[in-house]
Amino acid sequence: MALASKTEPRVQSPSSSNVDYEHLETSEALKQLGADPQSGLSDAEAKTRLEKYGPNALPEKKVSAFEMFGKFFWGPMPWMIEAAAIMSLLVRDLVDFSIIMVMLFFNAVLGFWHERQAASALDALKGALAQEAQALRGGKGSIVLARTLVPGDVVRIRLGNVVPADVKLLEGLYLDVDQSALTGESLPVSKAPGDLAYSGSIAKKGEMTGAVIGTGANTFFGRTAGLVQSAGSESHFVRANNAIGDFLIILAVALAVVMVAVQLHRGDDFLRIAEYALLLLVAAIPVAMPAVLSMTMAMGAKALSVERAIVSRLDSIEELAGITILFSDKTGTLTQNKLTLGEPIVWGGARAEDVILAGALSSKKENDDPIDLAVLKSVKDPSVLDVYRPIAYMPFDPVSKRTEATFEDATGKQFKVSKGMPPVIFELAGLAGNDLAAAQKVVSQNAADGYRTLAVARCDEDGRWNMLGILPMFDPPREDSRETIARAAEYGVKVKMVTGDDVAIGKTIASQLGLGSNIIAASDIFTGEINQTEVPMDLARRVDVAEGYGRVFPEHKWAIVKSAQQLGHIVGMTGDGVNDAPALKQADVGVAVSGATEAARAAASLILTAPGLSVIIRGIEEARKTFERMMGYAYYRVAMTVSIMLFIVLVMVIFNAAILTPVMIILLALLDDVPVMLIAFDNAKISSRPTKWDMHRVLVVSSMLALIGVVQSIILVRYLHHEQYFELAPLQTAMFMQLVIAGHLLLFSTRTTGFFFQPPFPEWRFFSAIMGTQVLAACMAAFGWLVTPISWRLIGFIWLYNLVWLFVIDLLKLAMYRQFDRREAGRVAWKSWFHPLDPQGGRLAKIRTER
C-alpha cells in the first residue's frame, strides 16, 4: 500500500530547458518529443538522436593514476623535501638523499591511496543505473542497452525493473515505484498515466509504458551525479599542512639568504656554503610530520571502528572534531523508520479496538507492506484474528486507493472491512454534511501535526458501509535521539533536521526532540536555479537561522551544506540515499548512516554500522581526543623545527661553526619523531567545544616556544664554549643531546593545555617510547656511536638544565594560551551582539527597543 507524502522533484526536458514535462499534457509532451506510443522510434531515428544527445550514461572526467600520483610531489611540503634531496646530491651525500626520498615517496603513496578511495563515489552511482531496457523500436518490442536510450523512446516498465531513464508515463493501470534512494521517501510512490518516473527508481507493483524525456546527465539521477562531481571541499587538515609548509619555506629561505650572505662575506667556497644550505634545509623539513599525523588519525579511525563508525577518509577525523553544525536526516536517524499507529479516532460509537481489528483484518502480513505491518503490529492479541475465516481479499491499488477483505465470523455471518485513503472511505461510508466536515477536520488536524491517516469502515450483511474511525500513523523518534541531541549541544554542536517530508511532519518531530520550531521549507528558500559553485549570502543567512528544513530536494541538501560552510561552519551531514551523495561529499564530514546505499557510502567520509545519532556523538568524542594529540604534536614539531633552524643560523653567524653535523640532524629527526608516532595512543582530554586548526595561534605560539628554545640552547653553547672551553666536536654532541632532551620535554608540555604535570598523564606506551629514545640518545653520546663521546656527568647536567627550563616554557605556554582565549572570547561576545540576518538586529536592537 503506497502513500505519497512528498513534493515530487522538478524535471525539465533534456533538449529544451524551458519545457516542463511534469505539468505538460501527455499529448503535448509526445508532440514535443516527437514520440509515437504505438510504434516508438525507428532504428535510424534512434541512432540520429543518440549522436545528438549522447549515451544514456553518467559523464566521466577521467584523471590518470599517474597524474593523480604526480600532484603529491607538488606543494609547499614536497618542494622543501625535493630541494633538500637536490642539495644532498650536489654535495654527494647519498645517505641523506636516500632518507629524504623515502619520506617523500611515503607521503605521496599515502595521499594517493586516500585520493583513490574518494574517487569511488561516482563509480558507485553508476552501479545503481539500469543496464538494459525494453524499448519499442520500429513497432517491435526489443531488449536494448539502457545506455542507447534517447529522448522520445517508448519503454515498458514492469515489476522489479530499474527505471532506465526519466520517463513520462503513458499507459497502464498503475505503477508503484520505490524512489527512496533518490528522494528519501520511506514508502513506495503510486504513479498514474501522466506522472513522471525517475531513472534509478525501482518498480514495485504494476506495469506501464512511458516516453523517455531525459537521459544521462539530463535526468534527475544525472543531476545528482553531477553535483557529486562538483561537490567537495579542501580539508582543514590539508590547509593546515600547507600553511605550516608555507611558513617554514619562507623562514628557511630568509635564514638561508642570511647564512649564505654571511658565509660569502667570509670567503667560504661554494661546496662549504652548499653543505651549510643542505644542513638548513634538512633542519627545516618536518619530514615525519605527515606520517605522524596520518598515524595519529589512523589510530583514531581504529578507535572509531570500535564505536561502529568506519572512516573512509582519514582527515575526516580532524573535521569531525570541529563540526559546529550537524545536518541530520529525519527518517531512520532521528526516527525509527518504522510506521507506528497513534491513538485511533473512533466514529459512530465504535471502540478503539474495533477500529484496529478492522484495520488489521484488511491487511496482509505476507504483502510486506509497511502500512499493513504497522496496523497488524498494533493488535494486542494477534490470536483474535484467527477467529475470523478469510473469504476474499482485494489489495490496495492506486485506482481504488483502499484494501478490502471479506470474512466469516464464528457464528457463520459474513462481513467486509476496508481501510484506505480517508476521502475514499468517507465516500464509501456515505459521509455527508456535518459528519463529512468533522471527519475532514480530523484528517486536517492530524496532517498539521505531521500524521498520515487511514480511514477504516465495516460492512455487515445489510450491505451498508459504516465508518469505524481514523488511524493516525507516524514514524516515532528513536528513544535515544533527544538525549543524543542534548549531548551534542553540550559539545557545541547544533543538530538541524533535514527531511523530504512536509514541514508539518518536521515540526512535530522537532518539537518532540527539542530541536526548535523554526522548521522551514527548503523550496521556499531556493526558488530558482541553484548555482553549483556558491550560494548567495542572503540565502545562506536564511538557511543559517532555520532550525530544520522540510520539503528538501537533493540540490537543496547540497546548497544547505554549502551555505553553512560559506558562513564559516564546519559541517557534518548524514544521509543514506543516492540523493544525499552530493551533500555528503560537499560536507566537511559526510556521514553515511546504517543501511545507506553504495553511492552514499562512497561519497561519505564516515560510514556508520549502527543506527542513530549516538554513534556520531561517540565519534565526535574520539575525534576530539585525536585532534588534541595532533595539535600537541603540531605545536611541538613547528616549534622544534623553527628552533633548530634559528639555532643553526645564529651559531653559524656568531661563532662561524656548524653546531650540528648533517648526520646529527638526521638522527635528531629520527629520535624525535619515530617514538613520537606513539602519540597516537596518548591520553587526551575531550574538548567541550568544537576544535579546529587556528594557524595564527599555532604559528605564533610555536614561534614563541621556538625563541625560548633558541635562548635556552644559545646560553648552554656559550657556557660550554666560553666557560668550560669545549672544542667543537664534543660541543656538537652536547648540543645534539640538548636538542633531543629539549624536544621531548617540549612535547610533554604541548600535549596538554594545562601544566605538564597535570592530567591527562602520558599513556604508558607513549611515555616508554620517549624514555627509551632518551636512553638510546644518552648511550650514543656517552659511548660515541656516530658522534664524539661526552661524559655521563655532562649528560646529567644537560637533563637538569632542561628540566628547569621546562617550567619556564610551561608558564610561557599558559600565558599565551590565556591571551588567545581572551581574544577569542571577546570576538565571540562581539559577534553575539549581532543577529546573522540584521547587522543591527541582535542585542543592540534589544537595547534600542528598551530605550
Active-site positions read: 329
Q: Is the dihedral of CA 827, 832, 837, 838 positive or negative?
A: negative
* 524 and 539 Cβ atoms separated by less than 8 Å: no
Q: What are the grid coordinates assigned to 112, written together?
A: 594517493
Which phi and psi (to 5°) does residue 685 adopt? -85, 160
Separation of alpha carbons 601 and 599, rounded Å: 5
* 224 and 208 Cβ atoms separated by less than 8 Å: no
Contacts of 644 (CB under 8 A, 6+ apart): 283, 660, 665, 668, 739
Separation of alpha carbons 324 and 617, rounded Å: 12
Q: What are the grid coordinates assigned to 75, written together?
A: 606543494
Polymer length of the chain: 851
* 231 and 214 Cβ atoms separated by less than 8 Å: no
Phi-psi region of 188 (alpha: psi -120 to 50; beta: other; left: phi over 0): beta
Separation of alpha carbons 38 and 782, rounded Å: 95
Peptide bond connecting 690 to the previous residue in cis, omega within 30 degrees of 0? no
Measure CA of the first residue to CA of the last residue in the chain; give whole Å: 60
Separation of alpha carbons 653 and 180, rounded Å: 70
The type of residue at 652 is: M
Q: What are the grid coordinates assigned to 759, written together?
A: 592530567
User: Could you give the angle at the alpha carbon of 649 between the alpha carbons of 645 and 651, nearest 5°?
Assistant: 120
Q: What is the CA radius of gyration of the chain?
A: 35
Of residues 406, 404, 407, the one with CA closest to residue 389: 407
Q: Is 76 exposed, middle or buried (0-12, 13-18, 19+ CB in 10 A)?
A: middle
Separation of alpha carbons 284 and 290, rounded Å: 14
Contacts of 580 (CB under 8 A, 6+ apart): 184, 329, 554, 557, 573, 574, 596, 600, 603
Three-state secondary structure readout of 673-714: HCHHHHHHHCCCCCCCCCCCCCHHHHHHHHHHHHHHHHHHHH
Contacts of 319 (CB under 8 A, 6+ apart): 235, 236, 237, 570, 588, 589, 605
Which phi and psi (to 5°) does residue 544 adopt? -65, -35
Q: Residue 340's beta-bridge partner residues?
A: 474
Separation of alpha carbons 230 and 532, rounded Å: 7
Of residues 65, 56, 179, 218, the one with CA closest to residue 126: 56
Q: What are the grid coordinates assigned to 821, written together?
A: 582565549
User: Could you give the angle at the alpha carbon of 404 between the alpha carbons of 400 and 405, nearest 5°?
Assistant: 160
